[in-house]
Structure 1
Amino acid sequence: MSEQPKPGKKAAERMGANASVDALASRALSVVASRSSKPGLPMSVARLQKLHDAAANGRTNTVPDVVKEMLEDGISAEVIAVNYIPEVARQMGEEWCEDELSFGHVTIGTARLQSALRVLGKDWWLDGRNGDGANDKGVVVVVAQDAYHTLGASILCGQLRQFGLSVRLAMGTSPEDLKRSLHGSTFDAILLSASSAESLDFLREYVETIRATVSGQPPIVVGGGILDQEADVKTAIGVDFATKDPFEALEFCGLTKNNRNRTSKTGQRG
């Protein structure tokens, strides 16, 4: 996931004055990950601008129309989801920090981008259900309690499904709810996504709950803006691995060998 941009002077003053808004904004802006996009893939500046304008400034939600147009022009759903949508969200986050967009515009724009994932097909639309059972390799994506946005989780789950994995989402649940939800379940990996605003002590409670609940002791990997902290997050919360790169996480968990060729190689032009 990308580093969060440095805030402008006015934004910095706002954040210092209101810690609750800062926590909310951190969650809102940490949904994007530059390392979740395919490095080096060229994107059309004109298409990025059109998608950005529809998300940030549109009086009505025209983002799905822009996405449909991109699909019709031969850009794959994977490229739109993994490259274009995160880049537009990142741009909006920078504009908020530089006082060029209001927080409301960023929030609504992010929601519009997420709604467009429905256009890209069932793999990318986040509904919280398990995979279709076609693959016996399963992962669960855990997003910490009180998460305000689900765009990042939507894209991550879509990437994992594209990789041929069965994916389950545990979104915004408390440790106790997570225990009830995962009790007796078996997974090949647990991916914990957390923003820079999350408490390390709170995340450690999540990890302890997972280890006590999930059968087979699968590897637990943490990613997200939480890794921007200077602290040794991996040791502090007790996970097995820490990375912002989904592929790197799957490699660590031994889930790439049989699925490496299942990712989409088509529709790469921008």
Structure 2
Amino acid sequence: MSRTLEFDIIPRLVDVHRAPFPPGHPHADVEDALGSTDHRPSTRDVEDFVQLVLAREHLPAQAFVDALGQRGMSVETIYLDLLAPAAQHLNYLWAQDLCEFTQVTLGLARLQRLLHELSPSLGGGGQRPFRGNARRVLLLPACGEKQTFGLSMVAEFFHHAGWEVDRGHGPLDTQAVEFAQSEWFDVIGLAAGSETRLEPLRRSILDIRRLSRNKEVRVMVGGPIFAGHPERVKFVGADACGLDGKKAPVHAERLIALRLRNH
């Protein structure tokens, strides 16, 4: 790891801060990938970034992100095209026994820290102030889910869209029902990453609709198990699948607008 950092990744990072490479230079492709607002981080950039995240010190990963921002890359792009794929790659390394659980835990904690530090810059002008009648959303992972970085990112987009966001304090299980019963939420978002969570999720959503303080609460679901599978969204009884980053608040507003239009 240290040799890779010293002789490959760190030199590429340093290159980002230098003047643009002339056409044909061996590292010109790196300049294109990291130095322009017209390009997104490549797969190699994400993999290199993950190695920085797994390094002993936090500063290299922070410097990598800072370099992207200094070159004009938007916070949204860093969120969606660097941090989110990095979290997915960490989970892949763990699933393939290429990385220890403690390393993945540390890496995800560092991504969470970077997400938090970037948060004030999201949307350019910071978050919108809460309205007196601000929408409220509850976001929770399915029972047994360990990795919740994606949901943290969704929470940031809701927060900066002017929503009041509640993340609870653990996996949903009965918690989502208890929250829905005791407090008013316009939307409840539940995330799941495994097909084994579908049946428990279906039962939770049934209980939410039956016991919710807001009898017309809208339920959104998200996670890889729903991608390209609308029948699963229907099976669990959700109103929509839309916990996919910056579009999540837009989907939620549409659900509320549709509810109001039907009255």
Q: TM-score range by the shorter chain?
A: 0.5 to 0.7
Partner Cα separation in structure 2 for residue 53 and residue 72 of structure 1: 21
Q: Cα distance, 1:43 vs. partner?
A: 1.8
| Contact kept? 1:189, 1:253, Cα under 8 Å | no
Q: Are the structure 2 counterparts of residues 196 and 133 from structure 1 closer, same or farther at C-alpha, using a change threshold of 3 Å? A: same
Aligned equivalents of 2:105, 2:93: Cα separation in 1: 12
Corresponding residue of 1:5: none
Using a 3 Å threshold, how does the CA distance of structure 1 residues 166 and 69 change in structure 2: closer, same or farther?
same
1:89 pairs with 2:98: no
How far apart, in 1, do the equivalents of 2:76 and 2:89 lie? 19
Please state which structure has a larger fraction of its residues in helix: 2
Per-residue deviation, residues 81-132 of structure 1 (Å, max 9, x unmatched): 22210122233344445554444433332222112122213588xxxxxx96
% identity of equivalent residues: 22
Task: Give the corresponding residue for 1:217.
Answer: 216
What TM-score comes out, normalization by structure 2 length? 0.64
Taking the aligned partners of 2:56 and 2:149, their CA distance within structure 1 comes to: 21
Residue aligning to 1:251:
251
Aligned to 2:157: 159
Pairing partner for 2:202 from 180, 201, 204: 204
**What letter matches 1:235 in structure 2?**
K
Query: Structure 2 stretches of 5 or more lacking a match?
Result: 1-37, 123-127, 258-263
Q: Secondary structure at the match of 1:199?
A: helix
Q: How far apart, in 1, do the equivalents of 2:170 and 2:195 lie?
A: 14
Name the residue aligned to 1:66.
64
SS at match of 2:189: strand
**Alignment size in residue pairs:** 211
Hey, what's the Cα distance between the residues in 1 that align with 2:157 and 2:113? 17
- In 1, are the aligned partners of 2:187 and 2:252 still within 8 Å (CA)? no
Partner of 1:235: 234
Give the conservation status (yes or no) of the 8 Å contact 1:204–1:236: yes
Shift of 1:218: 1.9
CA RMSD, aligned part only?
3.5
User: Aligned partners of 1:244, 1:137: CA distance in 2, in Å?
Assistant: 16
Contact 2:154 2:244 in 1 (8 A): no
Instruction: Note the C-alpha offset of 1:219.
Output: 1.6
Structure 2 counterpart of 1:168: 166
Moved more, 175-184 or 109-118: 175-184
Q: CA deviation at 1:207?
A: 0.8
Q: 1:249 Cα deviation (Å)?
A: 7.3
Contact 1:140/1:187 (8 A) holds in 2: yes
CA distance in 2, matches of 1:167, 1:123: 18
Q: CA deviation at 1:172?
A: 2.6
User: Does the CA-based 8 Å contact 2:140-2:190 persist in structure 1?
Assistant: yes
> Which letter maps to 1:152?
G
User: Post-superposition shift, 1:194?
Assistant: 1.0
Q: Which residue identity is paired with 1:219? A: R
Shift of 1:171: 4.8
Structure 1 residues 61, 86: closer, same or farther in 2, change over 3 A? same
Q: Deviations over 1:17-37 (max 9, x none)?
A: xxxxxxxxxxxxxxxxxxxxx
Q: Which of these two proteins has the greater Rg computed from alpha carbons?
A: 2
Cα distance in 1, alignment partners of residues 106 and 224 from structure 2: 21
**Higher normalized contact order (CA 8 Å, seq sep 6+, divided by chain length):** 1
Contact 1:196 1:227 in 2 (8 A): no
Distance 1:220 1:159, change over 3 A: same
Matching residue's letter, 1:91: H
Q: Does 1:43 align with 2:43?
A: no
Which residue is equivalent to 1:139?
A: 137
SS in 2 for 1:183: helix
What is the DSSP-based 3-state SS (H/G/I as helix, E as strand, rest coil) of the residue aligned with 1:140?
A: strand
Equivalent position of 1:28 in the other structure:
none
Q: Which amino acid aligns with 1:250?
A: V
Shift of 1:251: 3.2
